[in-house]
A and B are shown apart, each in its own frame.
Chain A
Amino acid sequence: MSIIDKTAAVPAPRGGSDHTGPLLEVKNLHVEFHTRDGVAKAVNGVNYSVDAGETLAVLGESGSGKSVTAQAIMGILDMPPGKIPQGEILFRGQDMLKMSEEERRKIRGRKIAMIFQDALSSLNPVLTVGYQLGEMFRVHHGMSKKDATVKAVELMDKVKIPAAKARVSDYPHQFSGGMRQRIMIAMALALEPDLIIADEPTTALDVTVQAQVMDLLAELQQEYNMGLILITHDLGVVADVADKIAVMYAGRIVEQAPVHELYKRPAHPYTRGLLESIPRLDQKGQELYAIKGLPPNLLKVPTGCAFNPRCPKADDICRTEIPALVPVTEQNGADLPGRKSACHFWKETIHG
């Protein structure tokens, strides 16, 4: 553990030179919620990893478990009713689920930060934004109030809030939605974390503002060489910023691929269906392809492949056997690096 201790003491060695392997690795994570009507299995064995400077997009609909996974990583899951029966969350090789609350608290904010969808409810309405930004420095670095305010202004400049000096003593409700999201980003960046988890960061914003915020996020990520986990349901946003994509459905990852590959040749019928079902700005089609049926009820996930009741390719095997997430290859058996699919018929899907 001496390696870890050193990283904690020395201010953030970028790129994780001490620890080989991914910055963050989630292994076989399970999360369930105990409710009045039964046990909802929100996450059922998720594996993914992010490197420094890399953007992983986790794509899924509501109830796919994408946000719950992120909350488990941050350690902000409500437990109970939530429960993590098994799995590991390795940050620089160290399992965060086995850490004490105190150790986790040190990582949270300092090493891993999170940006939420709703910036207004994530900021305290009775404190000025300058105070809230400065709080990070006062609490974690023991700065004086004055120094912290100077730092807060610097951060606001960094996220391109105009007239930062004048606005540092304003309250959150005095800022527009886009500006508030920038303040959230500034807060997340304050301690220069190694990893940022952004949960639908632009969903509540208008398109023109959305583009500004995503650009800012990408720029800062590059500057600080951070890992970024982008959780979203928007296939357009993903295509714009992601390096690799994990598609989730009913608490499992059904497909993993580098961004270009995924859009060109999806290897899972669900991904394919999603891509075909969104209307395109640059095309006007007659009728949209629609994935039939409804997203699954987590209290009663279908047996076998969870997608089978909605899948055009479903066969008997899909109703009985849960497909494993297996590497996908070219027709001739050549490797497709980074590609995996959890479908019994991935060959037919990608090559058919």
Chain B
Amino acid sequence: MADLSNNHEAPGEPILQVRNLQKHFPLTQGILFKKQVGAVKAVDGVSFDLYQGETLGIVGESGCGKSTVAKLLMNLERATAGEVFYKGQDITKLSGRALKAVRRNIQMVFQDPYTSLNPRMTVGDIIGEPFDIHPEVAPKGDRRRKVQELLDVVGLNPEYINRYPHQFSGGQRQRIGIARGLALNPEIIICDEPVSALDVSVQAQVINLMGKLQDEFNLSYIFIAHDLSIVRHISDRVGVMYLGKMAEIGTDEQIYEHPTHPYTQALLSAVPVPDPEARAHRERIILTGDVPSPANPPSGCSFRTRCWKAQEKCSQEAPVLAVPQRFQGVDSPAAHFSACHFAEEKQVVPVH
């Protein structure tokens, strides 16, 4: 993939910049004349950068808006507000030919390998479809060979080209989905829970494959998942989302070993560790209650309803995502972006 390494950015230059991204789904009432009575704030002001060749993990519980972020980045949903800059160009406002051109460079791998492949198309047609849509990528006579190469790249037998998706297992189907995502030589791949529908023994195969492809093709990943262990394994940096907002973002070491946001701490402490020895001397923060409805989020800090540190200030003032005051200028892994008025370090994951 020589063409990719050619447009390698200067180090430190983000390939994707997301600024204050918002998606509000209107809630309407009435049958004939629809009146907006409110909005579900699925994504409510999310900002982050993605650098060339890195993996940014985004974790959060269901309903936190992480999958909507994926759809917004792919332009499958139109953002209500905010910008997504790909190499300096805001792609949220694009349409038609310009959007199609950008799509060559940003591709997606979906969660459910059973619904992400058209059951009436052969594997060859599925992986070859990107070439039909972007004929400039591969000349017509070359396509079959390209598809077979891609099958080979993702570790499937190239002879399977004429089979249909239902003849494959979940792990194999996910490989087909990855091959389709790779076909156009993209720079960025957005993975929305790519292994959560797979069996444990197959998850490792797919994760390893994704790691290898990243090195091979210098891909940048946005890896969205609810499984914190997998995210840690694959990510260079991690963002934690809660109720449509980014609660904390930093390198994997900063987030997992020096979390400063109470939500991150609770989340990490709740993850079951496959080590029965740990269960006796592990401190777990059990949160009370459930995630509030994104149609009616709490005032101020959205986590305050479940937070054990919440004070008056939290209900009045929404904390900004920045390095907390007490850590500013401090040379410590705890000095990273965290949206909490009372951020403090707390180690919850046993360090080996």
Contacts and interface: CB of A to CB of B under 8 A. Distances in A.
A287 B284 contact: no
A239 B270 contact: no
A301 interface: no
A179 interface: yes
User: Interface centre among A275, A282, A289, by most B CB within 10 Å?
Assistant: A282
Given A278-B200, A281-B232, A290-B205, A239 B172 contact: no
A110 interface: no
A317 interface: no
- Contact residues of B: prevailing secondary structure: helix
A18 B89 CA distance: 77
Nearest to A215: B286
Contact of A284 (B232, B276, B278): B232
B213 to A, nearest CB: 13
Interface string A122-159: 00000000000000000000000000000000000000
B133 interface: no
A183 to B, nearest CB: 14
Contacts of A289: 204
Contacts of A237: 272
Contacts of A285: 233
Given A215-B286, A260-B276, A206 B228 contact: no
Nearest to A162: B289
A62 interface: yes
Given A207-B228, A282-B352, A284-B252, A61 B233 contact: no
Contact of B201 (A242, A260, A274, A282): A274
A236 interface: yes
A177 B276 CA distance: 27
Contacts of B200: 61, 233, 235, 274, 277-278
Contacts of A238: 274
A233 B199 contact: yes
Interface residues of B, number: 47
B199 A281 contact: no
A287 B211 contact: yes
A338 to B, nearest CB: 14
B350 interface: yes
Contacts of A176: 290-291
Given A209-B290, A284-B252, A294 B232 contact: no
B39 interface: no
B279 interface: yes
Interface string A191-223: 000000000000000111111101100000000
Given A239-B272, A275-B274, 18 more contacts: A207-B228, A208-B267, A210-B270, A211-B270, A234-B272, A236-B271, A239-B273, A274-B201, A277-B200, A277-B204, A278-B200, A280-B273, A280-B274, A281-B232, A284-B232, A288-B204, A291-B205, A294-B202
Interface of B: 61-62, 169, 171-172, 199-205, 207-208, 211, 226, 228-230, 232-234, 252, 256, 266-268, 270-279, 284, 286-287, 289-291, 349-352
Among all A-B residue pairs, the 5 with the closest Cβ atoms: A236-B272, A279-B233, A206-B61, A277-B204, A290-B204
